[in-house]
Structure 1
Amino acid sequence: MMSLRECLDWLARTGNANIHGITKRIPAEVFLVEKQYLRPISKAVNIPANIVTRGVRKDNTILYHSNRYSVPLGTYRPGKKLFLTEEDGNIIFTDPDSNHVAAVHRINPGKGQLIQNNNHLRDHTGKISGLQDQVLEMLGNIPEALMLLNMIKTDKPRYVRDQFLLIKATVSNNTVEVIQNAIQYCSDNELWSAVDFRAAVEHFARNNANADTATAIGPPYVPQPYKIKPEARDINDYVAVCGGGK
């Protein structure tokens, strides 16, 4: 392994002294120009010491100092994390994506406790659930369709209504066979969005239309006068014309 001194010598002798293969310039000379525009960075980075992140558990709670604190129903999704801050004896959970305060609790000094806000247990998505039931019925109420809708709700909670309405509009204009093929395709390829579902539906609808057109065309029509069967001659006639035979 090269020492630091050897590495610096190599840079001065080769790495920064030779013409670069892509830029066609000498790095050491380029740096002399660029360093005029460099600015010093701050010596201290101000990161609040009391801000940490915690993952949201499947039961919509966050584990902190051996206690579980509740967050609103539906907050959980794979990999979801919230900012956690302490302020005046309270613990505050904030969504880093929207900067929205998800929950506030008094810090519990005990261990193994569940600190829960009963409002977090209420499902505030009743209208969405009703819409989901309608769309699921239109999709044939099959397990793959339920998985598709649930994954859309999990991955795109802020746009779930628009997603479901797009699926509803897509389903109403296509056949059951096309819809089921599209559902299976999305499930097999883990495509959890209404746009992907619509694209799959359009693909299978085109395939069906092309197949129907090919069936309707059938074999080419040949008028009766042109259905002429050529006369079959004996091979000896050709031999005689060519001067062969005895």
Structure 2
Amino acid sequence: MLYVKIQELHKRKFKVAQIAKELKISRPTVYKYLDMTLEEAKAYTEHPHGRQKKLDSHKDWILAWLEEYPHLSGAQIHDWLLERYPDLIVGGSTVRSYVKEVREIYQIEKKVIVRQYEAVPEQPMGKQLQVDWGETKQKTTDNKEIKLYFIAFVMAHSRYKYMEWQTRPFTTRDAIRCHENAFQFYGGRTEEIVYDQDHLIAVSENAGQLLLTTEFQSYVNERKFKIHLCRRADPESKGMIENVVKYIKGNFADSRVFSDIEDWNHRALQWLQRTGNHQVHQTTKKRPAEVFLLEKQHLQPVSSLLSYESTNNQSITRSVSKDNTIRYKSNRYSVPLGTYQTNSENLVLIEVKGREQQTLVIRKQAEGEIIAEHGISVEKGKLIQNRNHTRDRSKGIEEFKRRLISSFEDQKQAAAYFDKISKEYPRYRRDQFTIIQQVIQKYPAFIDSVMTKCMTEKLFSANDFRDIAHHLYTSNQQPVQEIGSLSAKPAKHSSIKASTRSLNTYTSILGGRA
């Protein structure tokens, strides 16, 4: 494509500089293509530098992404490659150079929107955390559109990030829950947290005397961190989080397809680990994850329970996932089946009890009935599950078996037979029992004989049970019908007598002699 355009402009008497300006390429590139034949240009497109590049095997994907989403950055292409090919080892500069080359060869222009920020002094370790909210519109798997909302956090020194998403606008309670999750994610809190003038946390700035919402003020009093509210039209004071919100929208969320919120949040955490906190920061020239290992030591510890919640009859909320679990300190804890309801808020209240805060208590309402209670695990990534919260898969099948056994006269023999079937077909017990139930309903008079026959012949299969029952039924029915048809005499002709002839008559007919 590029070769054809260059040759066309050259034939129209465009100078090299004019061609470069028109096609947004360098003049050496114009000279290079002018000296090539069409075949040489095709070969160069496949191997621009005469040798195969590391990303040539992924070129089709990169080209397809750029053609569909021309605005994608090299960094986002890098993340998408790592998401699709986790074992791929390639540097960010390599990807950026390759993407730039592909754009140039296939004439895929990128529109760049530049926003200017004023430089701010670097913050010491553990000093400041910046928080902001954002929202995006995403395509869904069924080709519809959904609006998503997220809250983002970033450590001012290390640039270590955290985010959470939901499908509805944030409330103050949601903001508090996400703060607690962020503190657990970071392993502590900073001295100061920077916010925009958001209605979820502040009522008024009041010339420096901050008026916070009642719920958030109680939270601040408990956690004892300082609040810095940005002045209006002053994005520089929270430029880091502004960039993070932009980064999340432009790298993680852009052109990504939404299926459900649990999967979306899971992928968001994977993106943070793979890209958001792993890639070298352009300002610090360091990886946020590596710098955070040092900054973490300067954070203030946070307890797992908020004391003001008990006095105010409130508790920190947790969202119930579709699999009827909640998340707490990087682990999943079960709640009873049916707690999660479609088209419901699906929030529960949690509380930590015990002298050493080793017990997690879960309620649907404050001071309400306890629906779940778990010992808190010190590990991460674990599922802590109460056996009472799982579906009792054996209860239904055992009850089904008991009902079938009660249909037989010799229930002890029947119980032994069904136990044998359960051992022979453990995964298909219900299917086997269903077939026998149909036989009981169809041939009730023969089931005891069939059971004895099966036990004697050691035929432990519902299909054998059914076949024997059908055979007994048919063998008992057909003889009765045949005998009846032969022995019965029609009443209409019962008085008629057949005439008889002498033997001589028959022999004369056959040509013999008497």
**Normalised by the size of structure 2, how large is the TM-score?**
0.20
**Normalised by the size of structure 1, how large is the TM-score?**
0.40
